[in-house]
Amino acid sequence: MSTRIAFLKGHGTENDFVIVPDPENAVALPPAAVAALCDRRAGLGGDGLLHVVRSAAHPEARHLAAEAEWFMDYRNGDGSVAEMCGNGVRVFARYLQHAGYATEGDLAVATRGGVKTVHLAKDGDITVGMGRAVLPEGEVTVRVGERAWPARNVNMGNPHAVAFVADLAHAGELRAAPPVTPATAYPDGVNVEFVADRGPRHVAMRVHERGSGETRSCGTGACAVAVAAARRDGTDPAVTGTPVTYTVDVPGGTLVITERPDGEIEMTGPAVIVAEGEIDPEWWAGAAV
């Protein structure tokens, strides 16, 4: 008898994900199978995949099982592994609520970027504690065609290069990853954000995600942008002693990011479950080869 594999589809500010619930870590998900599921024409389609596993059942998260029952095994659309996904962790929590594994209140979720606390309300937006940003020394440069911008290196568990631009259209079509130099700043690749001002503590961004291409939102990217904007604007909460909140418009909606004087960052935004079903076993048999 063939294995039946369940899936759901969800999104957070239109950063969309295939969700594979697999509490006991019984489903093999090689990169080719992930890429096939995320394919927008021949698969289900998604910027990435959320593999929902009990921490105790996953070798990368077993040590976190006492802190967080669930592990977000996040994969990019090309099948590569990433440390963290800010929109993904909200959608992950929404799935746990939808499936009856979580109720209202605070929920700890293990990720490769550490344990994150998600605040679940009955409905409405979801807030997640994203932890602290790390800002490696040294400027980096982002290039698109003839244009080049100095950019801020911000690590939100995953790597980002944040470039402030006069016009988001200057990022062009973003069909390929924009070159970022020096390459040594990002040995594992980088997510690139282009940011334009919209008003006081209000910016808009576009993003080219490592392993996914241009997406309509990136939660860790929006946090990196808020952190870079606060340093640029003189509102760094570690310096002023006052929390600062930035509204970050993305092509798929709006995220609200607050950084506190101790460096802790909270992000609030929507998380939606769109559909659920079962993967055709015959298709699945061919997907991973």
Ligand X SMILES: N[C@@H](CCC[C@H](N)C(=O)O)C(=O)O
Residue ranges for the known binding site are 15, 76, 86-87, 158, 191, 209-210, 219-220
Query: Which residues are CB-contacts of 186 (< 8 A; sequence separation ≥ 6)?
Result: 140, 153, 159, 161, 180
191 belongs to the binding site for ligand X (CB under 6 A): yes
- Pick the closer one to ligand X by CB: 52 or 82: 82
φ/ψ of 19, rounded to 5, equals -110, 125
Look up 223 and say whether it is catalytic.
no
At residue 211, what is the residue type?
G
Least Cβ distance, residue 281 to ligand X (angstroms): 29
Least Cβ distance, residue 286 to ligand X (angstroms): 26
Stretch that binds ligand X, among 165-173, 212-220, 236-244, 251-259 (CB under 6 A): 212-220
- Pick the closer one to ligand X by CB: 43 or 77: 77
Q: 53 and 22 in contact (C-beta within 8 Å)? A: yes
Pairwise CA distance, residues 70 & 108, whole Å: 8
Tokens matching residue 155: 């690590």
Q: Which of 16, 69, 193, 209 binds ligand X (CB under 6 A)?
A: 209
Tokens matching residue 150: 């100095």
235 belongs to the binding site for ligand X (CB under 6 A): no
Burial class (CB in 10 A: 0-12, 13-18, 19+), 191: buried
- Pick the closer one to ligand X by CB: 85 or 225: 85
SS3 content of the chain, % helix, strand, coil (to 5): 20, 40, 35
Look up 218 and say whether it is catalytic.
yes
- Pick the closer one to ligand X by CB: 65 or 264: 264
Tokens matching residue 248: 């970050």
Token pair 């909270």 is at which residue?
A: 266
Pairwise CA distance, residues 77 & 215, whole Å: 11
- Pick the closer one to ligand X by CB: 164 or 186: 186
Least Cβ distance, residue 238 to ligand X (angstroms): 23
Least Cβ distance, residue 177 to ligand X (angstroms): 11
Binding-site string for ligand X from residue 58 to residue 97, where x marks contact by CB under 6 A and - marks none: ------------------x-----x--xxxx---------
178 belongs to the binding site for ligand X (CB under 6 A): no
Is the sign of the CA dihedral 29, 53, 222, 184 positive or negative?
A: negative
Q: Which residues are identified as catalytic?
A: 85, 218
Residues that bind ligand X (CB under 6 A): 15, 48, 76, 82, 85-88, 158, 191, 209-212, 218-221
